[in-house]
Structure 1
Amino acid sequence: MVRGHGVRHARLGRPLDDAPKRPMSRETLVRVAKLYKPYRKALIAVAVLILVSASLLVATPLLIRQIIDDAIPNSDRTLLYWLTGWMIGVAAVSGVISYATNYLNMRTGLTVMEDLRLAVYAHLQKLPLSFFTSTRTGDLQTRISSDVASTQMLLTDTLGVLVSNSVIVISSIVAMLVLSWELSIVALVTLPIFAFAMFKVGKKRRELTRETQKSLSDLTSRTGETLSVSGVMLSKTFGREADQLSSFKKNSSELTILSLRQTMTGQRFSIVMQTFFTMAPAIIWLLGGSFIIGERDSVSLGDIVAFTAIQARLLFPMAGLFTRGVQISSSIALFDRIFEYLDIDPKIKDPETPVEVVPAKFRGDIEYQNVGFGYSELELPRSAKKRAKCERKTDSLFKLSDISFSVQSGGLTALVGPSGAGKTSVGYLLARLYDADSGAISIDGINVKDMAQADLSKLIGVVSQDSFMFHASIKDNLLFGKSDATEEEMVEATKAAQIFDLIDGLPERFDTVVGERGYRLSGGERQRLAIARVILANPRILLLDEATSSLDTLSERLIQQALTRLREGRTTIAIAHRLSTVIAAEQILVMDGGKIADRGTNEELLERSSLYRQLYEEQFTVIPSLS
C-alpha cells in the first residue's frame, strides 16, 4: 500500500467526472428552487413588479387602438392628448420598474450563487482524505469556479425572464382572443411545434454541456499539473516540453470543438423561429386586410394594428421562453455536476453531542483496542488493484487487523516496518483522516469518534515528510498553526525548530514569500518550518510521519534536534523508515502485512525479531574499508 495515496473514489460504482447522459430530473429542479428559499421576500417583490410591468406592456397596444379607432376618426384632441399622455406615462413607469426588477434579480441570483459556492467548498472540507487522494485538483477547481459561475444566467435572471415572459404571453393571448379569435388561431397554431423542437434541442445541449465541462476539467487538471513547479521540473529534466504541449493542444482542441457544438446546437432552430416570428405580422395583415376589403365587420383597422402590436409583444417573449428553456437544460447539467459533490457522504462525521475537549486538561494517553481498517477495492491505488487482479486473489485487499497498543502520556512509540506494512494508516486513524472499521481508538479514555474533529485537531499535531507550504510569507505559513501568534512567539518557535537563524538572515525576515509549495526553501528548511508551525499550535500529541526521510545528514541532524525539543512533554507516535530516529523509543512496534508482528525496545527486538533485525542491519551494517 502506498500510504493511502493515489486512491480512487467512486460513488454508486462510477467515476464522479463521468456523469451519465440522463434526462433532466424533477429532483434537480426542486433542489435548484430550494436554493431561493431564504430569499422569498425578494422573489415576491420581483413577481409583483413583473406583473405590473407585463400589464403595462399589454396596455400600450390597446391605447394605440383607441387612438386609431376613436381619437383620430372623431378629431377628438382631448382624447388624443389623454391617450398619448397615458402612453408616455406607461413607458416611464415601465422603465423604472424594469430597472428595479433587474437589480433585485441580479442581487438575489448572485447571492444564491455565492451560497452555492460556499456550500460546495464547505462540504468538500468535510470529505475524508481518501476523496482528495483520488480526485484531480482540476476537477475540484472546475466544479467550484467554472460550474458554479456558469449557472449565473440561470440564477440571476431566469426567474424574472420566465415569470415576465409568461405573464406577457398569457395576457397577450387573452388580449388577442378578445380582439379576434380568427386571427388568434392563425397566430398561435405553430407554438406547439416550436415547444417540441425546444425540448429536443435542450436535451442535446444538456449532453454537450456535461461533455464540455468534463473536457474543461481535464484541461484545468493538465494545466495545474504540468505548470506546477514539480511538473515543469519533470518536463524539463526529461525533455518532454514538446510532448506536454502536444497533449495540451489535443485537450484544448477537444474543448474548442465541444464548445462550438454546444453553442451552435439549436442555432438553426432559433433562426427559423425568429424568422417565422418576424414574418408573422405579414400573415396577420394579409388575413385581416382581406377581411376589411371583403367588408367583413369582424375586425377594424385599429384591431389589426393593435393585434400585430400585441403579437409582437407575444412572439418575442415566446421566443425568449423557448431560448431560455434550452439554456435551462444546459444549466441543469451543471447543477447535476455540482449536486454530485454535495451528495457525497462525508463518512467521517462529528457526533451529534461531541465530548467537550479542553486541550490543557488532557494528559495524552493513547490506546488502540483491536482496531481494524480496510480499503475497499475502489479505494485501492491503481497499481495495487492491478496487482490484485493479476494474482487473482480475493484476500489481496489491504487491511489492518487487531491493532492493539497503548502510549503513556509523554511517551514515544515508534512504528517501523517495510513499505506498505500499514504504518501510516495506523497513525492517520488516530487523527481521523480515516475512520477505523472496528475496535476503538481513545485519548485519555475518550473515543476519538466522540470528539468534534476540530477539537481533535487541537490535540494532535502532524508532521509529515511532505510538509505543505502555501504560496505566502513565512509569517502567514506559521500563523496557520496559531492565527493569533505574536512575533515573539514565532521567534521562539523558529528557534526551537532550528530555523530562526536562516529567517533572521533574510532581507524580509518573516515576510519572505516561500513560493509555491515552499519551493524557495530546501526540503530540510521546509520541514523545520513545518515543525515550527506545529510548535506554535502546541498540541498535546504528536504524529511524526517519516519526518526525516529523504534528507541529507545535516538537515536530519537539525530536524532531530528540533523534534527533540518538540517532543518534550508530549505523547508521540513516530512513523519511521530510518531506525536511527527511533531506536531510543520506549516502545517500537514492528508492522508487517497490516498487523503488529512484534513489539519491544530496540535491544529486545534485535534479539527476537528477525524482521526488525533485517531492517536494522540494512541501515546500520558498515561496509568494510577497502584500505
Structure 2
Amino acid sequence: MGANDESVFDVYRDRVDRPLARLFRVYGRPEVEWFALGMAANVVARVASLLPPLILGIAIDSIFVDTEPFTLPVVPDAWLPATQSGQFWFSAAIIAGAFLTTAVFTWIYGTAANVFAHRVMHAVRTDSFERMQRLDMPFFDDKQTGEVMSVLNNDASNLEVFLDDALQNSSRLGVMLVGIAAVLFYLNAQLAFVTLIAIPAMVLFTVWFMRAVEPIYVAQRASVGDLNTRLENSLGGIQLVKTASTEEYETERVRRASREYFDRTMDVIKLNYVYRPGMELLAGVAFAATFVVGGIWLFSGAPGPFTGELTVGTFVTFLLMTQRFVTPLAEVSNIIDQYENAKASSERVFGLMDIPVRITDAPDAVALEEPEGRVEYRHVDFAYPENALAAAEEEDSGERVLHDVDFEAEAGDTVALVGPTGAGKSTLLKLLLRLYDVNRGEIRVDGHDVRELTLSSLRGATGYVGQDAYLFDGSVADNVRYGNFDASERRVREAAEAAEADEFIRDLPEGYDTRIGERGVKLSGGQQQRLSIARTILQDPEILILDEATSDVDTETERLIQESLDRLTAERTTFAIAHRLSTVKGADTILVIEDGRITERGTHEELLSEGGTYATLWGVQAGEVEMVPDSGSSED
C-alpha cells in the first residue's frame, strides 16, 4: 500500500512482529525477578488450593466410610496417625493449612504481579512519550493528536490490564488445569479421561475465537483513536465552535465517531456472546459426564469399557475438582479478550516507537561551544515531504518551496525577512533550527554545518519568539523559567522586567505565583507575548528568531513588546519575519522572499531606492500607493 493510502503510523504498526513477545523481551526482562516471584507464588497457591478436595476424598474413604487405608500422596505412612480421631484432626489441620497457604501465597503473587505490571507499563508509557517527542516534524504535520493520545493513554492502559489481570488469570488457569489433571489421573486415570474429554474441544473453540476476534480488535483500537481525535479537535477549537455556532455540527461528528466505536465494540461483544456460553457448555458437559459415569460406577460397578472400583471419596474429589476448573475455563473469554486487546494495543505502541527519526545527532556531532552567532545559508533548496511516511522512508520530497537561498549574517547582525504569505520565510528559519533538513546546500553556524552539531547545543543557542506564544498551565514564574528550570527568582524577575512584563505580573492576584491556565488563557495576547519574550531573555541565546512577534497586538502593546525586543536583539544575531515593515527598517539586511527565492536584498534605504517589491510594500503601509491584494494563500 502506498504512502497516499496509509499513514506512517499505520505502516509501522503493521510491521510489528510478535508484539507481546517483544513487550516481555524489552520491558519484562528488567523486571524478571518480580515476574518469577509472582509465578512461583502462584504455583504454590494453586497447588495448595487443590489439597482440600483431595484430603476430603481420602478422609471420606478412610475415616467416615472406612473402606480404604488412610494414606496421603508423598507423605510416609509412618508420619500418619494410627487412630481415626487422630487421622480426622490431622486431615483438618492439613485443610486449614492449605487454605492459609493459599491465602498467603495468593497475596504474594498478587503483589508481585502488580508490581511487575505497573513497572513495565511505567517504562512503556515514558519510553513511548520520549520517542514521540523525538519524532521528526513531518509526523506532527501529518498525525492527529487524538490518535497519539490514544496510544500513550488508552493503549498503554490496555497493556497494563493485560499484565495485571490476564496474566494472573491465565497462569492460575494453567496451574489449575495441570494440577487437577495430575490429581485426577493419580486417583483414577479412566474417569479422568471422561472429565477432561472436553479440553480438546475447548482448545479448538478458543483457537477459532482468537482468529475471529483479532481483526475486530484492530478495528476497535483504530476507532478509539478516531474518536479521541474528534474530541480533541472539537474541544481544542471550542471558541471557534461557539463563535461559528457549529455545536450541532460538531456533536454530529462526535456522534458518528462514537457510533463507529460502538459498532466495533459490539462486534467484539457478539463474538463473546458465542464464545463464553460455548465454553461454559463444554465445561458443563465435562461435569455432567463425570457425574453420570461416576454415579453409575458407584451404583452398578464399572460401566462399559471401564474396570476396577470407584470409591465414594474419589467420586466426591472428582466432582469437586471438576467444578474447580469449570469456573476458570469460563473466564478464558475474558483472558482472550484482554490478550487480543493487548496485542492490538502493543502493535500500536511499538508502531509508534518504530517510526524512524531522521533528524538526529550525527555519530561524530560536536557541541556548539561559546557560539558567536555567525550564520550562512549556502545554496539551500528545500521541499516538504508529501507526508510523514515519505519522510520516514526518505522518499522523494514534494514540490520545492525554497530555491537556491544564499546569504550570510555576521555575528550580531539583524536580518529581516519580508514578503507575501506563503513565500517560505518561516520555512527558511525552521531549517536553521533543524526542524527539517535541507534537500540541497547547507546551513552553517560559526562555520559548522548544522547537521554536524548536536541538536541540543544548536537549539540551546537559538531563541524563538513566535506569533503565538505557547504557555503551559502553571505559574507565571514556571512559564518564564521553562527550559531554564534552575533559574533563581531574581533572574526570573530581571527577565520579566527586561520584557516589560514585571508591572502587569505584580498586578496579578498572586504575582509570579499566579496560575495562568492552559495555554495562558487568563492573560491577554500581549501579556502572553511578553512572557514568551521574558522566557527567551532568560535563555540568553546568541541567535534569535522573531516570527511576526507583534503582528496580532494593538499599537500600545506592540510598542511595549517592541521595546522588549529591541533590548533582546541587542548584540545578538537576529532573524525577524515581519509584515509590518516599520518594525524591521533598522535591520542590517532585509531579504525579500517571493516564491521561495530571494528577489531583493539590502538595507531599508537601498531597497527603497531600487523601487522594487519592498519599496511597493513600504509605500502601501505608509499609505502612499494603493496595493493590489496578494492572492497567496499557502502557509510559510
| TM-score, normalised via structure 2 length | 0.87
- Deviations 1:312-344 (Å, cap 9, x if unpaired)? 333433344454133201221111111111111
Q: What displacement does 1:19 show?
A: 7.9
Give 1:206's aligned residue: 214
The amino acid across from 1:81 in the alignment is W
Residues 113 and 440 of structure 1: is their aligned pair in 2 closer, same or farther, counting only changes over 3 Å? same
1:364 aligns with 2:370: no
* CA contact 2:166–2:338 (8 Å) conserved in 1: no
Q: What displacement does 1:151 show?
A: 1.9
The amino acid across from 1:376 in the alignment is P
* CA contact 2:13–2:347 (8 Å) conserved in 1: no
Q: What displacement does 1:125 show?
A: 1.1
Q: What displacement does 1:137 show?
A: 2.1
Residues 13 and 340 of structure 1: is their aligned pair in 2 closer, same or farther, counting only changes over 3 Å? farther
Give 2:383's aligned residue: 374
1:599 aligns with 2:605: no
Give 2:41's aligned residue: 49
* CA contact 1:212–1:258 (8 Å) conserved in 2: yes
Query: Structure 1 residues 148-157 or 194-203, which shifts more?
Result: 194-203
* CA contact 1:17–1:214 (8 Å) conserved in 2: no
Q: How does 1:132-531 map to 2 (within 5 A)?
A: 132-228=140-236, 231-296=237-302, 297-321=308-332, 323-358=334-369, 361-378=370-387, 397-531=399-533
Q: What displacement does 1:87 show?
A: 1.4
Question: Which of 22, 32, 49 in structure 2 is aligned with 1:40?
Answer: 32
Q: How does 1:12-51 map to 2 (within 5 A)?
A: 14-15=6-7, 27-34=18-25, 35-51=27-43
The amino acid across from 1:60 in the alignment is P
Structure 2, unpaired ranges of 5+: 67-82, 303-307, 391-395, 627-636
Q: Write the distance in 2 (CA, Å) between the matches of 1:323 and 1:470.
A: 41
How many percent identity over aligned positions? 30
Q: Write the distance in 1 (CA, Å) between the matches of 2:90 and 2:472.
A: 70
- Deviations 1:498-539 (Å, cap 9, x if unpaired)? 222222333322223333322333322222221111001111
* CA contact 2:46–2:176 (8 Å) conserved in 1: yes
Q: What displacement does 1:616 show?
A: 3.0
Question: Which of 47, 55, 58 in structure 1 is aligned with 2:50?
Answer: 58
1:86 aligns with 2:97: no
Q: Write the distance in 2 (CA, Å) between the matches of 1:272 and 1:395.
A: 54
Q: What displacement does 1:197 show?
A: 2.4
Give 1:388's aligned residue: none
Q: What displacement does 1:207 show?
A: 3.1
Residues 20 and 429 of structure 1: is their aligned pair in 2 closer, same or farther, counting only changes over 3 Å? closer
Give 1:71's aligned residue: 63
Q: Write the distance in 2 (CA, Å) between the matches of 1:200 and 1:304.
A: 34
- Deviations 1:29-87 (Å, cap 9, x if unpaired)? 22121220101111221222222223223333332232122222338222222222111
The amino acid across from 1:73 in the alignment is V
Partner SS for 1:121: helix
Query: Structure 1 residues 104-113 or 591-600, which shifts more?
Result: 591-600
Q: What displacement does 1:13 show?
A: 5.5
* CA contact 2:226–2:257 (8 Å) conserved in 1: yes
Query: Structure 1 residues 13-22 or 114-123, which shifts more?
Result: 13-22
Give 1:389's aligned residue: none
The amino acid across from 2:299 in the alignment is I
Q: What displacement does 1:117 show?
A: 0.7
Give 1:125's aligned residue: 133
* CA contact 1:65–1:306 (8 Å) conserved in 2: yes
The amino acid across from 2:201 in the alignment is I
Q: Write the distance in 1 (CA, Å) between the matches of 2:203 and 2:3.
A: 36
Residues 520 and 251 of structure 1: is their aligned pair in 2 closer, same or farther, counting only changes over 3 Å? same
Partner SS for 1:371: strand
Partner SS for 2:378: strand
Q: What displacement does 1:411 show?
A: 0.6
The amino acid across from 1:139 in the alignment is E
Query: Structure 1 residues 36-45 or 250-259, which shifts more?
Result: 250-259
Residues 200 and 613 of structure 1: is their aligned pair in 2 closer, same or farther, counting only changes over 3 Å? farther
Residues 202 and 609 of structure 1: is their aligned pair in 2 closer, same or farther, counting only changes over 3 Å? farther
| TM-score, normalised via structure 1 length | 0.88
The amino acid across from 2:578 in the alignment is A
Residues 324 and 494 of structure 1: is their aligned pair in 2 closer, same or farther, counting only changes over 3 Å? same
The amino acid across from 2:273 in the alignment is Q
Q: What displacement does 1:106 show?
A: 0.7
* CA contact 2:500–2:530 (8 Å) conserved in 1: yes
Query: Structure 1 residues 436-445 or 13-22, which shifts more?
Result: 13-22
Residues 521 and 527 of structure 1: is their aligned pair in 2 closer, same or farther, counting only changes over 3 Å? same
Q: Write the distance in 2 (CA, Å) between the matches of 1:100 and 1:16.
A: 43
* CA contact 1:373–1:437 (8 Å) conserved in 2: yes
Q: Write the distance in 2 (CA, Å) between the matches of 1:203 and 1:461.
A: 54
The amino acid across from 1:304 in the alignment is F
Q: What displacement does 1:487 show?
A: 2.9
Residues 151 and 19 of structure 1: is their aligned pair in 2 closer, same or farther, counting only changes over 3 Å? farther
Partner SS for 2:99: helix
The amino acid across from 2:300 in the alignment is G
Query: Structure 1 residues 272-281 or 454-463, which shifts more?
Result: 272-281
* CA contact 1:198–1:323 (8 Å) conserved in 2: no
The amino acid across from 2:6 in the alignment is R
The amino acid across from 2:37 in the alignment is A
Structure 1, unpaired ranges of 5+: 1-9, 382-393
Q: Write the distance in 2 (CA, Å) between the matches of 1:170 and 1:291.
A: 25
Q: What displacement does 1:16 show?
A: 5.4
Q: Write the distance in 1 (CA, Å) between the matches of 2:284 and 2:297.
A: 22
Give 1:619's aligned residue: 621
Q: What displacement does 1:306 show?
A: 2.0
* CA contact 1:205–1:330 (8 Å) conserved in 2: no
Question: Which of 528, 549, 552 in structure 1 is aligned with 2:551?
Answer: 549
Q: Write the distance in 1 (CA, Å) between the matches of 2:375 and 2:604.
A: 21
* CA contact 1:417–1:590 (8 Å) conserved in 2: yes
Partner SS for 1:224: helix
* CA contact 1:17–1:139 (8 Å) conserved in 2: no
